[in-house]
Structure 1
Amino acid sequence: MLKLTFLGTSSGVPTIRRNVTALALHTTMNRDWWLVDCGEATQHQLLRIPLTVHDLAGICVTHIHGDHSYGLPGLLASASMNGRKKPLILIAPAPVKAWLDATMLHTELFLTFEIIHIDVASEQSVYQQDGLTIERFPLSHRAPSFGFKFSFEKTTWKVDSEALRARGVPPGPAWGQLQHGKDVHMDDGTVLAAARYRSQHTERATAVIGGDNDTPSLLAKACQHADVLVHEATYTEAVLQKVGPGPQHSSVQRTASFAADAQIPNLVLTHFSARYDSLEGMAEVAAEARRHYSGTLFLAQDFNTYELSNGALAKLPPAPRAK
C-alpha cells in the first residue's frame, strides 16, 4: 500500500554515491505523492524515478538546515516551468517559508501555482484529507526539528467470489454491480443482494519519518502502532562520543535501541555521515544496528524503494526511469 523512495541519504554534504536528504512517499490510493525534505539537487534525483512534480501533493520540511531545504527553490522553479498549475502544500517551520519567500523575491522566481504554507509548529495534526493524516512531533536538534507521522487508510469493497461461484454466477458485469452496491436481478427471478455478496476491506499503513534528532525516544508516542520508522543514524556510537554533543545527531546504536524498545517491526536507517560512504563503512553501521535491533532492518541508499504491505517491509527492484 505504501512505498518509500529515497532520493538522498547522506548527512550534511553529498558524496559520489549519496545526495543529501529527500524521501518520497507514495501509495496505491491515487497518483499523489509527498516529499519529506528537499536537499540540494533533489530535482535532479527526481529525473531518475517514475514520480513527477505534477503529482506532488506536498512537501514536509523537518528543519531549516540546508541539506534538508536547499533544493526547494530549484524544484519549485522547475515545476513552474513544466506547467504545474495546482496548488502545492508546504508543511515547514516558519523560517523555511521566510527564506523561500526571500529567495523568490531576490531571484525573480514567479510560480504558476500557489504555495499553501502550513506552519509545522501550529498544531500536532498538520494535514488531514482523502485518507491521509500527517502529524508532527518536536525533536531535539540544534535548530527546531520535527518528525512526521504519515497515517494512510484506504477502504474498498470486495465481492465474495467464492460465494458467487458457488451460486453459479461467473465473473462478469454482475460482480461489478454488486461491488458498487447494486442488487442484481437474475434471469430466474431471484435477486442477489449487494449486502450479502460484498464486504468492506480497510488497508492501513503508518510511517514515522524522523528529522535530525539526537533523542530518538521523543518519537515514542508517534511510533505507537507504527509499521515503519525512518530515522537518522549519522554516526556509530563510538564516533558520536568523539564528535561530542554539538551537532545533536543520533547514533546507530541509539536509534536501533529505541526501535527495539518501541517494538517497531521495520526500521530504515538513513542520513549517514560521509565517513561511512564505503562498503566497509556501511558494514560497520549494519553490524552496530544488528547488535541492538532484531526486526526488519534496511540501510537506505539513494533510489532504493521499499514497499510496505500488510505490515511487512520489502525492498523493490529498481523502477524504470521516468520519461
Structure 2
Amino acid sequence: MLKLTFLGTSSGVPTIRRNVTALALHTTMNRDWWLVDCGEATQHQLLRIPHTVHELVGICITHVHGDHSYGLPGLLASASMNGRKKPLILVAPAPVKAWLDATMLHTELFLTFEIIHIDVASQQLVHRQDGLAIERFPLSHRAPSFGFKFSFEKTTWKIDSDALRARGVPPGPAWGLLQHGKDVQLEDGSTLLAAEFRSEHVERAVAVIGGDNDTPSLLAGACRDADILVHEATYTEAVLQKVGPGPQHSSVQRTASFAATAEVPNLVLTHFSARYDSAEGMAEVEAEARLHYQGTLLLARDFDTYELNAGVLARLAPAPRVK
C-alpha cells in the first residue's frame, strides 16, 4: 500500500554514492506523493524516479539546516518552469519560509503556483485529507527539528462471490452494482441487498519519519501504532562518543534500541555520515543495528524503493551502482 523512495541518504554533505536528505512517500491509492526534506540537488534526483513535480502534493521540512532544505528553491523553480499550476503545501519551520521568501525576492523567482505554508510548530495535526493525516512531533537537535507521522487509510468494498454464486448469480453487472452499494432486483422478483453481499475492508499504513534527533524516544508516542520507522543513524555509538554531543545526532545503537523497545516491526536507517560510505562502513553500521534490533532492518540507499504491504516491508529496486 505504501511506498518510500529515498532520494538522499547522506548526512551533512553528499558523497559519490549518496545525496543529502530527501524522501518521497506515495501510495497505491493515486499518483499523489509527498516529499520529506529537500536537500540540495533533490530536483536532479527526481529525474531518476517516475514521480513528477505536477503530482507532488506537499513538502515537509524537518528543520532549517541546509542538507534538508537547500534544494527547495531549485525544485520550486523547476516546477514553475514545467508549468505547474495547482497550489503546493509546504509544512516547514517559519525560518525556512522566511528564507525561501527572501531567496525568491532577490533572485526574481516568480512561481506559477501558490505556496500554502503551514508552520510546523503551530499545531500537531499539520494536514488532513481523504485517506491521509500528517502529524508532527518535536525532536531534539541543535536547531528546532520535527518528525512526521503519515497515517494512510484506504477503504474498499468487497462482494461475497461465493454467496452470490450459491444464489445462482453469475459474475456480471449485478456484482458491480452490489459492490457499489446498490440493491439488485433479480428477474424472479427477489432482491439482493448490498448490505448482505458486500463487506468493508480497510487498509492502513503508518510511517514515522524522523528528522535530525539525538533522542529517538521522543518519537515513542508517534510509534505506538507505526508500521515503519525511518530515522537517522548518523554515527556508530563508538564514533558518537568521540564526536561528542555537539552535533546532536543519534547513533545506530540508540536508534535500533529505541525501535526494539517501541516494538516497531520495520526500521529503515538513513542519514549516514560520509565516513561510512563504503561496503566496510555500511557493514559496521548493519552489524551494530542487528545487535539491538531483531525486526525487519534495512539500510537506505539512494533511489531504493521500499514497499509496505500488510505490515511487511520489502526493497523493490536496487540502488544504482556508481562505476
Pairwise same-fold verdict (TM > 0.5): yes
Q: Any residues of structure 2 matched to 1:1-323 within 5 Å, and which? A: 1-317=1-317
Amino acid paired to 1:229: L
Provide the C-alpha distance between the structure 1 equivalents of 2:172 and 2:233, rounded to a whole number of angstroms. Answer: 52
Take 2:276 and 2:171, find their aligned partners in 1: how far apart are those partners?
Answer: 55
Q: Which amino acid aligns with 2:271?
A: H
* Equivalent AA in structure 2 for residue 143 of structure 1: A
Q: CA deviation at 1:168?
A: 2.2
* CA deviation string 1:151-182 (max 9, x = no partner): 11111111111211222222221111111111
Alignment partners' CA distance in 1, 2:296 and 2:171: 39
Distance 2:162 2:20 in 1: 50
Q: SS of the counterpart of 2:13?
A: coil
Counterpart Cα distance in 1 of 2:100 and 2:93: 11
SS at match of 1:218: helix
With 211-220 and 170-179 compared, the bigger mean Cα shift is at 170-179
- Counterparts of 2:74 and 2:162, CA distance in 1: 53
CA distance, structure 2, for counterparts of residue 262 and residue 47 of structure 1: 36
Q: Where does the alignment leave 5 or more consecutive residues of structure 2 unmatched? A: none
Q: Could you say what the CA RMSD is over the residues aligned between the two structures, in angstroms?
A: 1.2
CA distance in 1, matches of 2:8, 2:167: 54
Residues 23-55 of structure 1 deviation map (CA, whole Å, 9 limit, x = unaligned)? 000012222110000000101111111111101
Shifted more, 196-205 versus 168-177: the winner is 168-177
Give the letter aligned to residue 190 of structure 2: T
Unaligned runs of 5+ in 1: none
Q: Distance in 1 between matches of 2:162 and 2:287?
A: 48
Distance 1:5 1:210 in 2: 15
**Equivalent position amino acid for 1:113 in 2:** F
**Matches of 1:14 and 1:122 in 2, distance apart?**
31
Distance in 2 separating the partners of 1:172 and 1:81: 47
User: 1:147 Cα deviation (Å)?
Assistant: 0.3
> 1:98 & 1:231 partners in 2: Cα distance?
27
Q: State the SS of the aligned residue for 1:260.
A: helix
More divergent stretch after superposition (97-106 vs 179-188): 179-188
1:133 CA drift (Å) = 0.7
Helix, strand or coil at the partner of 1:281? helix
| Structure-2 separation of matches of 1:72 and 1:7 | 14
TM-score by structure 1 length? 0.97
Query: Aligned partners of 2:206 and 2:308: how far apart in 1?
Result: 9
Worse-matched range after superposition: 217-226 or 180-189: 180-189
Percent identity of the aligned residues?
A: 86
- Secondary structure of the residue that 2:317 maps to in structure 1? coil
